[in-house]
Amino acid sequence: MDSVKLAMTRSFDLQIRHTRRLTPQDQARFVTAVSQFNQDPANPGLNFEKLDGGPKSNLWSLRASQELRILLAVDDSQFVFVNAGHHDAMYDWAKRRDHYVDLASEVLADLQVTVPDIPLSLKRASKGKPHHPSLAELREQEPGTPPYPPPAAETPPTGPSLIQDLIWRVFRGDFEDWQLFLYPDQKPLVSRHWSGAARIRGAAGTGKTVIGLHRLAELARRYPDDTVLFTSNSRSLAELLERRFRNLPMAPSNVEFANIDRIVYKYDSWTPAHFSLVDQTFEAACKELVAGFLLERINPDYLKEEIERVIKGNDLQSLDHYLSVERIGRKRSLSQDLRKQVWELYELWAGKLSERNAVTFADKRIRVRDSVQKLAQAPYRCVVVDEAQDVTLVELQLVRALVAGDPQNPVPKDGILILDDPAQRIYPGGYRLGWAGVDITGRAQVLRKNYRNVPAVYRAAKRIRGNELVTMEHEDDKYILDAELGFPDREDEKPILALVDRDGEFLYLGEKIRDICAAENYSTDEIAVFLKHNSQVYASISFLQSHGISCARLTRDGFAGDGIRVGTYDRARGLEFRAVFLPCLGATQFPDISGETDGEGQEFDPDQDLESRQLELDRLYVAMTRARELLLLIADEEPCEEVRRALGEEIILRDLRGQPIADSTPSL
C-alpha cells in the first residue's frame, strides 16, 4: 500500500477555519468531513470520487453534506485539500480550471484536524477499520463513479433537543457567525421554489433578515445569468446587510444591494429632491391656507405625512379618489370636509414646489415607478424586500416593476420575497398587497419562534409596546405577531431601568459601558446606544468620546467611525447587538408627542395622539429588541406609563438617585 500524505493549501485552511466566511454549521460539516477522511477515506458517507476531465485532471470530490463539497488534488503520494463550498460552485470552479490544480505553485501545509465540540447530529461515525487506499486503487475507478453506492439523502437534525443544542452553541459562540446563523427548521424557506411573489413575516428576532440573506444567495445561484436585488427603504440597513452578506460562504457576485431611494436615483435623472426647499414650500403653503381653517387643529407634521404617505404614497390622482380611499395606518379619522382641505393644501404645496423647481422624493418615486413599468425588460430577476411594513404602495409597485415590468405582466417564479412585521412599523401609512398587484396566495409563511433575544428582553419589549396595531385591521395586518421563546428563562437576564440624578444619564451610561467591556468580554461593535432624536445622538457621542469611549455613529450611509454604535431608534431596524443601552427615557423625553400645535387653546384629536404615541412605542420596541443578551434603560426622571407597567414583572427598577457615579476615563 502506498504511503498517503494529507496536506492542504493555505487558502483552504483559511476558508474552512475563518468563521466570518462560513456559517457555524457549514464550518462544522467541513471540518468533520476532513477529519473522517483522515480516519477512513473509504467511508461511504464521504462519496469520494474523481471529477470528469482529461488525462491531466487531478481533482476529486468529497461530500461534506448533501449541498457541500470539498475538492482535493491527488498528485503522486499526497492528497491536498484545495477548495470547499456549495456543490454547484465547486463543480464550476473545477471546470474553469480544467479539473486540474498545479500543486507546485501552491503553498502547502500538513493537515492537522480536530473535530470541534458540535452536536452529535452533525458528526458521522466511520464504518469499518481505517483504511488508506493506494493511489493505484483510486485510479482504477472510473471518473465520476463513487467507490460505494451513494448514501441516502442527508436528513438534518429535526429533534427539538438537537436543534436546541445546536442553536445554543452558536448563540454562545462568535457573534458575527450568529448574525448569519440559519436555524435548521428555516432552511426549507431558503431553498423553496415559489410560483410567484411570497411573504415571510414574524415578530422581532424570528430570523426574517437572515432568511432573506440566505435566500438571496440561493436565488443568485439558481439564476446565475441574472441579477437579484436586496432592497428596503433604509439606506443604512441595505449597506450594512451587504457587508454581512459578503461573509456568507461562496457569496455569489450577481447580487445587488440598494435601498429604494438609491434605485430612484439610478432611474431618475430629473430635478433632484431638495429637502430645504421642500420644507420651506410646505411651511409657506400652511401659513397661506391653514390659519382659520379646520386644519389648524391638526399638527403640521401630521398633515405633511398625510400628503406624502397617503396621497402621494398611494399616488391618488383626484379628490374623489382621496375622499373614498381607505387610509390604512391612520387612526385619526378625517371628515369629508377635512379631506377636501387637505387636498387643497396638497395642490397649493404642489404649485409652490413647481414654482421653485423643487421635487419631493415621493414625486420622484412615482415617476421612477412609471418609467420602470415601461422598460422593455425588467432589470432584475428576483428581489427581496426587507422591512416591507414601512414601504408605501408606490414603492411596492416599483419593486414589482423591477422584476415584472408592466403591471399586466405576472410576477415571475421566485420573483418577489417580502419580509415584514406589522408590529415594527415606524412610519405612518399602509397598503394592501392586492393594490400593488402582488398575490401571495399559498405562498405566505409566519415565523413562530424568537431565537435572537433572551426571553426577558423580548417579553419586556412586548409588554411596553402593548398589543395595539397602528394599521387598521384587514387581511394583511389583522393581529400582532407573537413568538415562542427559544431559550430557557433566567432571572439574571431581566432588563434594568436605572433611575439616576438629573443630567446624570450619560455619566452612568459611560460607567456601565466600561464595566461590561472590562468584565464580560464585549467588543465595542457588539454594543449599541439608541436614542430618539439626532440631537441626543450627537450629545451622547460628544460626552462618551470626551470620557475616552470611542463611538461610531449610525448614519444613512452606515457606521461612521469605530467604537460603540450610536444612532436613533429609526436606524436600529434590522440590526442586532449583544448589549443595548437606551438613555433619555424620562416621561418628558419619551414619548415626546402631542397632537396639539403650538397655539394656545387648540384642540387635538385623541385618535391622532394615539397614532403618534403608538408609532413612538413601535420605535422603542424596535430598539429594545436589538439587544440579544443585555438591555439597560436609563432615565433621570420617572418614565412614561408604558415603561412603568413593565416594572417589577419584566424590568428591574434600580433607583440610583442620590448615589455617586464614578467618573473614571479609561479609553475603549
CA 85 to chain centre: 24
Handedness of CA 370, 372, 373, 374 (dihedral sign): positive
Q: Write down the residue that cell numbers 414654482 correspond to.
A: 355
With CA atoms as reference, report the closest residue to 287 among 296, 278, 297: 296
Q: Reduce the DSSP state of residue 411 to 3 states and report it.
A: coil
351 in a known ligand binding site: no
| CA–CA gap between residue 453 and residue 185 (Å, rounded) | 18
23 in a known ligand binding site: no
597 in a known ligand binding site: no
Is the backbone peptide bond immediately before 591 cis, with ω within 30 degrees of 0? yes
- Residue 654 neighbours by CB distance under 10 Å: 12
DSSP 271-329: SPB-HHHHHHHHHHHHHHHTTTSGGGGS-HHHHHHIIIIIITTTT--SHHHHHH---TT
- Type of residue numbered 206: T
- Type of residue numbered 296: E
Handedness of CA 367, 369, 374, 377 (dihedral sign): positive
Element (DSSP H or E) covering residue 367? helix 361-373
| CA–CA gap between residue 3 and residue 576 (Å, rounded) | 51
Q: At residue 63, what are phi and psi to the nearest 5 degrees?
A: -90, 115
205 in a known ligand binding site: yes
209 in a known ligand binding site: yes
Q: Residues 6 or more apart from 60 whose CB is under 8 A from it?
A: 48, 49, 50, 51, 71, 72, 73, 74, 79, 138
- Type of residue numbered 216: L
Nearest-5° angle of CA 619, CA 621, CA 625? 120
Q: Residues 6 or more apart from 651 whose CB is under 8 A from it?
A: 460, 494, 495, 496, 497, 633, 643
Answer yes or no: are the C-beta atoms of 247 and 21 closer than 8 Å.
yes
208 in a known ligand binding site: yes
Strands 627-635 and 496-499: parallel
- Type of residue numbered 549: I
- Looking at the DSSP bridge assignments, the partners of residue 1 are none
Q: Please classify residue 114 by burial: count the beta carbons closer than 10 Å to its beta carbon, then call 0-12 exposed, 13-18 middle and 19+ buried.
A: exposed
Written as nine digits, the cell of 513 is 459601558
In 3-state terms, the chain is what percent helix, strand and coil (to 5)? 40, 15, 45
Strands (E), 47-117: 49-50, 59-63, 68-75, 78-86, 108-110
601 in a known ligand binding site: no
539 in a known ligand binding site: no
Element (DSSP H or E) covering residue 581? strand 577-582
Q: Fill in the DSSP letter of residue 442.
A: T
- Type of residue numbered 644: R
Q: Which residues are annotated as a binding site for ATP?
A: 202-209
Q: Which residues are annotated as a binding site?
A: 202-209
